[in-house]
Structure 1
Amino acid sequence: MILVTGATGTVGREVMRRLPAGVPVRVLARNPSRVAGAAPGAEVVAGDYGDPASLERVLRGVRSAFLVTTRVAGDQDALFVEAARAAGVRHVVKLSAAAVEDPLADDLITRWQRGSEELLRASGMEWTLLRPRSFMSNTLSWAPSLRSEHVVRALYGSSANSCVDPRDIADVAVRALTEPGHRGRAYTLTGPQAVTAAEQTAGLAELLGRPLRFEELEPDQARALWSERHPAPVVEALLHSARRQREGAKAGVENTVAELTGRPASSFGTWARAHLAAFTDD
């Protein structure tokens, strides 16, 4: 039995949809009604990391799990790892972040991810770590201003990021869950080239067939914008991350997706064409 967590999120949803037919799958969700696209026969179960009884129920009979946690500096990883070990889970594939490999990345989010990786490695269970660069789907946050004003606003628009298609992350995750040879491995996952926000804006303009304007945010403007959605410590972590990107820390490209899947990693243009409806006026 394979357990998928995060199935209403960007990567977990794609993992759930890509698992081969005939593989027993259980999906953990706080709200099962929000889970869409599960294969026929998949078992969707209500549960929460903070509810030990629900974790015990969900993990019963599970041998491999795909783990996504979202509460920065929280205890979700510790709660899951403890419950999984007690339930006899053998292998956990964890969604982490590429920044954990950068010794200059010392923000709250990266420290949390490093600590979460250490918890899993020390658990006695077998593990695989997926360390993606930023998701291409993060650009969906531009959609409201792009649709209403034909404007994209972002911080450090000329800094490059080798962002990755979440579908590529999911393809690697499925292989790690279902094939031998991935246990005890950590995979850094990137797109095929580093791109800037200004270049992404130009690419969207070409695909949409209309001009778009890129406006550079000042750090204080970005702080104010992100503060509408995140607590102050997370906002400061995001600003630290953006400064690292401006200094070139996120421009490196890895060939891991191609090596593991047998096909090149998807470009931003490929991702954008598949999600163009999100950026259209209607």
Structure 2
Amino acid sequence: MDLSAEKRSKLEERHEFWWGTNRDAPSRIRRKVQGLRSMNKVRLQLVCDTYYRHVLGRDQLHSVDTSDTATPLLGARICEVGCGGGLLAEALVQLGADVVAIDCDEYDVLTAKAHWRETQGRDRIGPSYHNASVKEFSQAHPGEFDMVICSEQLQYQHINGLEYVPYICKLVRDGGCVFFTTNNRSLPALLFIIGWMEHVAGTMPAFTHRFHRFIKPDEIADVVRRCGFETINVAGFIPLGMTARLKWRMQWFLTSFIGVWYALIAKKAEHVYGGQ
């Protein structure tokens, strides 16, 4: 691909942001992406459990084997909305899923494509990336996916993130599931994320989040219900970042407390067709 010098420079910046190990980069930037990478542990656990229990109707998968030979998502057709540089999309493919990933940001999509080629080669099938909005993509691909994932996106939208939810739901097939992760609009979230993480600990840049854009679980549940979905699980998760030696290493843990970060999972009703 023939790229201008300006475009090449932007791509190099995005690659460094999403996948780089530049020790000279500001620590708060490295920690922000490190947090997203480490979040995959809880996200993948919830995705696999949901696929087994609610899409396939099998017993719950209690743990995610992330070895090279493990494919707990084999056969799953999954769409990720807001894929960024491909952190989650690549992990889903590694677990066997057939993944389509979309993002409005052209440079993030190009970065994600390039990273897969560089690390996995051209012969191995990876995520199918598309530079598209969820509104236009849902019009072209309604009801095509077993699961649709929108993780860490709704709280960053300049308009009400809930406005995107019906388009995300439109992509799910009958009997499939939609999966959201976002921040709760609560006092604990205000104190912990904006107060502590941004302004005291400095684990992410100040003003990364806007409290008024946080979304309560009931608000998402109400929208998905009107789209023909039933909420089947709301799970909390929290980050803990300090090791015993006071070195930074963010890790995420599932919890029943949903006041800060949470995942909301809903299932689309099966259509039952009667006959004479």
Which has the larger strand fraction? 2
With the length of structure 1 as denominator, give the TM-score of the two structures. 0.40
TM-score computed with the length of structure 2 as normaliser: 0.40
Higher fraction of helix? 1
